[in-house]
Amino acid sequence: MEQMSSTGRPVQITVTDGYDLKGFKGETPVTFIRAEFNQMVLGDSAKVTVSAEGTAKYNFTSSFEFNPEGGITLDDIAHKPVFLTMTEVLPKEKKQKDEKTLILGQAVVDLIPLLEGESSFETMAPLHPVPGSPLEPLRSGVKQCSLEVKVFVAEPLLTTAQILGGNLLKVTLEAAYSVPESFIPVGPLQNYMIGLQVPSVGEKDYSILFKNGTLKLGGEREPVPRPKKWPIANILAPGANNIPDAFIIGGPYEEEDGELNRPEDKEFRNQAECIKKRIIWDLESRCYLDPPAVASFQKRIADCRFWPVEITRVPLTIAPKGKAAKFDKADDESQLSFHGVAYVNMVPLLYPGVKRIRGAFHVYPYLDSTVYEKTKCSFSLFRDTGHHLVQNNKIGGINSPLSKPAVSKNVKEDKTVKEKDIEGKPRPGDMQPPSIKSQSSDTPLEVEPPLSHNPEGQQYVEAGTYIVLEIQLDKALVPKRMPEELARRVKEMIPPRPPLTRRTGGAQKAVSDYHTQVKNISRAILDEYHRMFGKQVAKLGSDMDSETLEEQKCQLNYELNCSGKYFAFKEQLKHAVVKIVREKYLKTTSFESQEELQTFISELYVFLVDQMHVALNQTMPDDIQGTVPTIYTSSEQLRLFAFEAEVNENFEMAAVYYEERLVREPQNLEHWLDYGAFCLLTEDNIKAQECFQKALSLNQNHIQSLLLCGVLAVLMENYEQAEIFFEDATCLEPTNVVAWTLLGLYYEIQNNDIRMEMAFHEAFKQLQARMLQAQIMKQRSTGTVEYIEEGGKVEESSLGPWGITNGSSATAIKVEAPAGPSILDDFLEESSKLQSDSREHIISTQSQDPTISQKPSNILLKEMPVKKETSKCQDSSIVLYPSPYDVSQTPATIFMETIRFLMKVNAVQYVHRVLAHELLCPQGGPSCEYYLVLAQTHLLKKDFAKAEECLQQAAQMDYLNPNVWGVKGHLYFLSGNHAEAKACYERTISFVVDASEMHFIFLRLGQIYLEEKEKLPQDLLKNFFVLL
């Protein structure tokens, strides 16, 4: 047993009891416990006899010294457990000098709670049987033999600063699939290894190495869930290899963070993971990161983005007996074969709230120039420390990470350290361009040497080899704001409007009740008059003389008094008058003087008489009342009137209609959104912001109000508020593509490339999920497995990372799994290049282009009221702008969907930035819809020449699109060329499919016919009547 250092803090492990124990011989075997940690024996317990019930009391305590300056460190505690081996002492036979022992099983105690700030914990550790042991194996429904263990330290191993600022990194290597055919299970034994480096203590690199992978021929899929294993060899009990409560769960390919997660990769993944050869590890290695290491880890990810994970194959060797083996470096390099590397995109770990990434990553040949270009790393874990690997590559060697001092001894690595600073940056003279080539780019690197430099590694590419890796942190590197905090911040910026107090006995209700009673009494008196004198007499009206009328009045009064109806009417009216006194005049106490009473009665009498006249005028019979009834206009009609006024550039009249809607229904947030969109059209951003904030105060969970408040905040450079609005929208509706895209555009303005990538990636995921869901629904309705559009088949492979692949409606496209990284990374690289060129143009478009300061023309950016089938929230003017295509069509990219949203609310200043992204998007580019939107923006500036150029481009791409001809007609109409406008409008209405603004196409075509004094065609006249 090795001697421990006298310095440091002791960690005590106490085994108190054992349960459900059995032995080889007898019902009461004699056993003892041996504790081991870090290849050291901590001690043996006393020999204890197991009771007939299978219990034993050991009360055995052992300990080891924790010393962060040397010896056992936090990393050792993180990834190495305590092994408790139970051994049975067999009875001595005759003439036997020494006792014989047999190992029964092993228990494993994970010390991770000590790295979570705990100073003590208790656990019931299952006792895993060794082969041939009488102990019961771990099965559900069967009592498991176990040991009760207590772990104790006098004080926590971590300080408060380490608990708050440190982190625990877990790396799980599952398998390498579709390995080269030259990997065969026969012949010399091979050690399949994978390794990577991470910062550990301070900013020093810590090597994580996974050894002894098992080559399997395939034939069936690996089961899930399956347990993760300790990266340690020589474990006696097979069950003790498994880490407690740690399992590989798997999951859908689409939810992974790696490269092979697209629909077209699914078939290849299924074949590779079921049929082809694979190497299985299922190992989890852990590493503690102290606060400086966490900062270094975070900075390295931001600087390098991709992390090299090396893979190699080394022949297994047997250590010579009697003397130490000596190896030459040249021999080390010759023994390394099939040296490959996978580039793991670690950027998602910098997304707010993300603690775990898991995915499949292609394996490429290890080439120095390519590795340095992608990862800024010129150090190879296997090549530059090969002699240490070979020395430790003995059969039965410990499969643990390399020691840190071993790495720094290499001469080449020392030179590398001098050339780079502590953060891993190259020298100023060796600086590479800031943008890193995407790991799935289809274009080869210019500096890539010939493939013959690593012919064995090239076999990984030919076979399509990929590794499945999981990297998990105990805490997210970038904390995410909680939805409750975002909601609180929104309330602080825009307090919710208090609900209107509804008082059933209020002043208005009291006056209304008084009117009702006056109307009822007047009808009763009129009925009595008709009974006494007949209805024919009442029709004479002014033809009767005053004496006759006075006589009838006296008779009527007499009849009412004699019958008691007069007093009944007074009682009926009394309660309404009392309510008016209490609610209208707020009089509930007695009067102090007679004069005050008389003054109040006089005032009340005048008010009651006036209100009586109001009520009587409302109940006057239709044949007597001479006023013409007013024509009531609905809110929807007012919106249409305002819309038509906008199109005709009568903005004052449009404002009147919008304000009338607000007066009628001030609690309707859609009216505020409509008015705000109108203010954006007239470039009154301050009033538009007030309207959107008013709408948000009515409903603080309304997504469109949040997004519009965020857009206005960006336009007015209130960036902190904009971030709150956009983040709150994504929390309230995580599936909203527009919300994620706008958040990504905001981060682009802030030069935050990491979060921009995160937001765009999430928007893409949501759009792809929606498209796949639409595909499934269509399959259910048609009974087919593929899209059927325009007579062609669209397979799953036509769904690119940003949406539907161009041209997918006509042919079935089969896409091979690319030999490099995803299109998403290509786009993100181009986006980072774009933002420096377009920032000023997008935010301050008015100041740079004087034509934008002109008043908008009457072009139809807002072409048509929304169709009835749209939802209620879409019926507002927030969707007044027509989409260049039908609203129900699924957009091809996240940017085009955002463009549609912004055009609907007149946020043209924001559209230019999104158009630039649409142009760079791999699945976007200059499409017909792109040129239509661009033409509309030019029409807003009355730049008819550029608008005509864009429409010509759109017509060349899709000359059968009615929207192209409709907008073309508007262009000619606004420029005064009514003959061409008439031809375009007539061509538009001749299409089988309607354009998205038929209302105004009919109106303007009718106006041209009237100006030319032509007779309107019958079908066109019919449409006019239907529309108007």
Among 142-156, 226-240, 322-336, the least confident range: 322-336
In this predicted model, what pLDDT tens digit does every residue of 575-594 receive, in sequence order? 888 888 888 787 778 888 88
DSSP-derived 3-state class of residue 285: strand
Residue 743 has pLDDT above 90, yes or no: yes
- Residue 8, sorted as left (phi over 0), alpha (psi -120 to 50) or beta, turns out to be left
Q: How far apart are the first and last CA of the chain?
A: 99
The two counts, helices (H) then strands (E), for the chain are 34, 25
Query: Average pLDDT of 223-251?
Result: 89
Q: What average pLDDT does the structure give for the chain?
A: 76
Tokens, residue 438: 């995407």
CB atoms within 10 A of CB 620: 12
Higher pLDDT, 323 or 141: 141
DSSP string of 533-600, one letter each residue: H-HHHHHHGGGS-HHHHHHHHHHHHHHHHHHTHHHHHHHHHHHHHHHIIIIIS---S--SSHHHHHHH
SS (H, E, C) 417-467: HHHCCCCCCCCHHHCCCCCCCCCCCCCCCCCCCCHHHCHHHHHHHHHCCEE
Of the candidates 761, 764, 744, 681, the residue with the CA atom closest to the CA atom of residue 914: 744
With contact defined as beta carbons under 8 Å apart, do 329 and 388 qualify? no
DSSP-derived 3-state class of residue 56: strand
Which neighbouring-strand residues pair with 341?
310, 364
C-alpha 588/C-alpha 595 separation (Å) is 17
Q: Which of the four pLDDT bands, split at 50, 70 and 90, describes residue 528?
A: confident
Tokens, residue 322: 């009697």
φ, ψ of residue 350 to 5 degrees: the values are -95, 0
In this predicted model, what pLDDT tens digit does every residue of 215-229 receive, in sequence order? 988 788 888 889 999
C-alpha 958/C-alpha 935 separation (Å) is 15
Per DSSP, which regions of 290-355 are E strands?
306-315, 337-345
Among 352-366, 448-462, 725-739, the least confident range: 448-462
C-alpha 383/C-alpha 379 separation (Å) is 8
Residue 145 has pLDDT above 70, yes or no: yes
Long-range contact list for 761-765, CB < 8 A, 24+ apart?
761/348, 761/824, 762/730, 762/734, 763/737, 763/894, 764/801, 764/802, 764/803, 764/824, 764/894, 765/254
Q: Enumerate residues 6+ apart whose C-beta is below 8 A from 371.
A: 308, 341, 377, 378, 380
Query: Average pLDDT of 999-1008?
Result: 82
Which neighbouring-strand residues pair with 173?
283, 469
With contact defined as beta carbons under 8 Å apart, do 373 and 437 qualify? yes
Higher pLDDT, 781 or 49: 49
Residue 374 has pLDDT above 70, yes or no: yes
Residue 462 has pLDDT above 70, yes or no: yes
Among 198-207, 683-692, 892-901, 999-1008, the least confident range: 198-207
Q: Is the pTM of this model over 0.75?
A: no
For position 856, what pLDDT does the model report? 38
Residue 173 has pLDDT above 90, yes or no: yes
In this predicted model, what pLDDT tens digit does every residue of 104-123 receive, in sequence order? 889 999 999 998 888 899 99
For position 99, what pLDDT does the model report? 76
| CA distances for 483 relative to 711, 725, 734, 744, angstroms | 20, 11, 11, 18
DSSP-derived 3-state class of residue 170: strand
Query: Average pLDDT of 695-711?
Result: 91
In this predicted model, what pLDDT tens digit does every residue of 629-676 receive, in sequence order? 555 678 888 888 888 888 888 889 999 999 988 888 888 889 999 999
C-alpha 158/C-alpha 171 separation (Å) is 22
Residue 128 has pLDDT above 80, yes or no: yes
With contact defined as beta carbons under 8 Å apart, do 914 and 895 qualify? yes
Between β-strands 82-89 and 30-37, what pairing exists: parallel, antiparallel or unpaired? antiparallel
C-alpha 993/C-alpha 958 separation (Å) is 14
Higher pLDDT, 806 or 772: 772
With contact defined as beta carbons under 8 Å apart, do 172 and 227 qualify? no
With contact defined as beta carbons under 8 Å apart, do 985 and 976 qualify? no
Residue 1023 has pLDDT above 90, yes or no: no
Tokens, residue 668: 């309707």
With contact defined as beta carbons under 8 Å apart, do 272 and 177 qualify? yes
Higher pLDDT, 878 or 942: 942
For position 838, what pLDDT does the model report? 40
For position 978, what pLDDT does the model report? 85
C-alpha 939/C-alpha 856 separation (Å) is 8
For position 961, what pLDDT does the model report? 85
For position 33, what pLDDT does the model report? 93
CB atoms within 10 A of CB 949: 15
With contact defined as beta carbons under 8 Å apart, do 310 and 367 qualify? no
